[in-house]
Amino acid sequence: MRVLITRPQPDAETTAARLRDMGHVPLVAPLLEIRLLVRADSLDITGFQAVLVTSANGARALSGATEQRNTLVFAVGVASAETARQAGFASVESADGDVRALKALVTERLDPGNGPLLHVSGSVTAGDLVGGLGQSGYVAEALQLYDTDTENTLPGTIEDGLRQGNIDAMLLYSPRTARTFVNLVNSAGIPELLNNINVFCLSNAVRDALGDAGFRSVHVAERPEQDRLLQLLQMTA
């Protein structure tokens, strides 16, 4: 199966390698680019009882922003937790879910009296994690460590693939990428070509961001994890 990957690097190439191992042909065409906003190793996280990350990009940005590795990291899911561990953070826990699951994990494991929490993120976040924690009695603050630049026009590799019928399926990992893709296809004047593509979404929020775009089929992973998403792709291949 010829599978389009539009997520940012380096995650796009990691996914492409998984697809090759599964016998698929990946087409890598990122629609978003991650741009760090802080100077390397300039962030001091001393005094925070935990740092909260809601994406692998957030974990990656955190690792570049600070040399400190002993502060507890709470991650939204498997991918963000593994990214933090690979970056050398000594104590990492995963909520294995979404922002609501992360908030539940924090309230279950951490005492509000033991110190403030830091949520590091990009310019766009899902849900109000800091506000929700504040309502539960925690002192929490948000810090934007990275921004996301989006493509202004549909990349030629995607447009050519659509026009030539060389894309069988597409993986979507974030609502922003989903919206960007649909908007660029509409701007290119070729929305009717989407009816040849089966789309596999990491979550319901990603699916909802597609609106009424006319894909052949839309599938949602049982849990917001790449392993579940790829299993779903394999089941329908």
**Confidence at residue 69, expressed as pLDDT on a 0 to 100 scale:** 96
Residues 191 and 216 placed together within one structural domain of the fold: yes
**Confidence at residue 41, expressed as pLDDT on a 0 to 100 scale:** 87
**Confidence at residue 123, expressed as pLDDT on a 0 to 100 scale:** 75
Structure tokens at 160: 């050519």
Structure tokens at 165: 């019928």
Residues 84 and 105 placed together within one structural domain of the fold: yes
Residues 132 and 162 placed together within one structural domain of the fold: no
- CATH code assigned at 47: 3.40.50.10090
In sequence order, what are the residues at sequence separation of 6 or more whose Cβ sits closer than 8 angstroms to the Cβ of residue 186?
A: none
**Is the pLDDT reported for residue 22 higher than 90?**
yes
Mean per-residue pLDDT over the chain, rounded: 94
Structure tokens at 122: 């990009």
Contact 224, 98 (CB under 8 A): yes
Contact 62, 130 (CB under 8 A): no
**Is the pLDDT reported for residue 4 higher than 80?**
yes
Distance CA 120, CA 114 (A): 19
pLDDT tens-digit map of 108-157: 999 999 999 999 988 777 678 999 999 999 999 999 999 989 999 999 99
Q: What average pLDDT does this structure show over 212-217?
A: 95
Structure tokens at 219: 């599938």
Residues 12 and 71 placed together within one structural domain of the fold: no
**Confidence at residue 166, expressed as pLDDT on a 0 to 100 scale:** 95
Query: Exposed, middle or buried, 211 (CB in 10 Å: 0-12/13-18/19+)?
Result: exposed
Strands 2-5 and 117-121, bridge-based pairing: unpaired
Residues 55 and 100 placed together within one structural domain of the fold: yes
pLDDT tens-digit map of 86-100: 999 999 999 988 889
Helix (H, G, I), strand (E, B) or coil at 206: helix
- Of the candidate ranges 7-21, 119-133, 207-221, the one whose mean pLDDT is the lowest: 119-133
Residues 50 and 22 placed together within one structural domain of the fold: no
Report the percent of the chain where pLDDT is more than 70: 98
**Confidence at residue 145, expressed as pLDDT on a 0 to 100 scale:** 93
Looking at 147, 181, 196, which one is the last position of a domain? Answer: 147
Q: Residue ranges of the alpha helices (H) in the chain?
A: 11-21, 56-65, 78-86, 99-109, 129-135, 156-164, 175-187, 204-209, 226-236
Q: What average pLDDT does this structure show over 204-222?
A: 95
Looking at 147, 178, 195, which one is the last position of a domain? Answer: 147
- Which residues are bridge partners to 93 per DSSP? 74
Torsion of CA 85, 104, 126, 9, to 10 degrees: 10
pLDDT tens-digit map of 48-61: 999 999 988 999 99
The whole domain housing 225 covers: 2-32+150-236
Residues 135 and 194 placed together within one structural domain of the fold: no
**Confidence at residue 126, expressed as pLDDT on a 0 to 100 scale:** 67
Residues 166 and 133 placed together within one structural domain of the fold: no
Residues 51 and 133 placed together within one structural domain of the fold: yes
pLDDT bin (cut points 50, 70, 90) of residue 230 is very high
Residues 114 and 96 placed together within one structural domain of the fold: yes
Residues 221 and 154 placed together within one structural domain of the fold: yes
How many separate domains does the chain show? 2
